[in-house]
Amino acid sequence: MKWKAASLLLILWLTACDSTPTPTKSIEVANKGALSASLDATGQYAVIGSIFEGGSLWRVTDFERLYNWNHKAGEQSTLHASAFSADGRWVATATTHTIVFWDLQSGQAVRFWNAPAEILDMALTPTGDFALLGLVDGSAVIFDIKRGGIARTLRHTNRVRKVSLSGNGKLALTGSEDHTAILWDTDTSTALQTFQHEDEVQMVALSEDGTRALTAAKYDKAVLWNLETGRAIGNIPLQASMVKRGLRFTAARFSSDGKQLITGRPDEIVQLWDVASLSELKRWRLPKRETLQPTGASVLALAFAGNHHVAVASNGFIHILK
């Protein structure tokens, strides 16, 4: 009993001593937590893949649940990935083996497809004509989401965990468990640059103009790249203990001008970086669902939204960060 009391006092003391900023506003969007989430480029809309409550579309500006999005009538689908088109018209959601293409404004399903293999990640081209799918079979494919079928295949030698597209959709960045991230020309399926890591690549992100990239691997460095020169800008400074434990970024996004990068970790931390100097500009700590419980919250999605930022956490909350 004395040990428990001492532990409680220690936790409360550490919490009080932590001066890291926290969200200015939060809303619960998944009662038992979320498996996946995505935000549109403006941070106004969020797709939530709840663990037990199916998929849903939320308007972040007033925290209103607009639609329940599931792949079969009468069931609550487990969404493993989702993505918005840059023009704000379309959204795609994916279970492991199915894809549904949605009209954002009407909330109606436009197309339903069976996936070519199990889907791990997804991105949409600017007008929603194609989806870039990261697959478990060691490939990423450019899938014609409006007419069906694979337009191009981008080959790795192991599972493709993460994918990202430039703002015009002409460049794709794929991260694989084969320890590489590859930059592709989406028109020709040509590999333009290969970035080698010492472990499986778990996060990739491309800037909107296609000149900057982030690649990060488990138990290895996180690197910012200048794609115009093919050279590393540098490694994002992370504590050695984090790298040793395999604590890597679970979400990342460049600002529209490419000058800043916002990243999220599996330990509730969101960080804002200056791309040129690799310096941390600000950080936030997202709250746990139960303060005294050991279970934390991974950051699933991030967005720049004018004078604030938006974060979605795996414990089922959307947060506003200022």
Residue 15 lies in a domain: no
- Please state the rounded mean pLDDT for residues 274-295: 83
pLDDT of 244 strictly over 60: no
pLDDT of 17 strictly over 60: no
The pLDDT assigned to 237 comes to 84
| Residues spanned by the domain of 41 | 27-321
Residue 177 lies in a domain: yes
Residue 100 lies in a domain: yes
Q: What percent of the chain has pLDDT over 90?
A: 84
pLDDT in tens, 66-107: 999 999 988 999 999 999 999 999 999 999 999 999 999 999
The pLDDT assigned to 74 comes to 87
HEC assignment per residue over the chain: CHHHHHHHHHHHHHHHHCCCCCCCEEEECCCCCEEEEEECCCCCEEEEEECCCCEEEEECCCCEEEEEECCCCCCCCCCCEEEECCCCCEEEEECCCEEEEEECCCCCEEEEEECCCCEEEEEECCCCCEEEEEECCCEEEEEECCCCCEEEEEECCCCEEEEEECCCCCEEEEEECCCEEEEEECCCCEEEEEEECCCCEEEEEECCCCCEEEEEECCCCEEEEECCCCEEEEECCCCHHHHHHCCCCCEEEECCCCCEEEEECCCCEEEEEECCCCEEEEEEECCCCCCCCCCCCCEEEEEEECCEEEEEECCCEEEEEC
pLDDT of 115 strictly over 90: yes
pLDDT in tens, 191-239: 999 999 999 999 999 999 999 999 999 888 899 999 999 999 999 987 6
pLDDT of 286 strictly over 60: yes
- Please state the rounded mean pLDDT for residues 246-252: 83
Residue 41 lies in a domain: yes
- Please state the rounded mean pLDDT for residues 303-322: 97
pLDDT in tens, 155-177: 999 999 999 999 999 999 999 99
Residue 126 lies in a domain: yes
* CA 180 to chain CA centroid, nearest Å: 18
| CATH value at residue 58 | 2.130.10.10
Look at the chain and report how many structural domains it folds into: 1
Residue 128 lies in a domain: yes
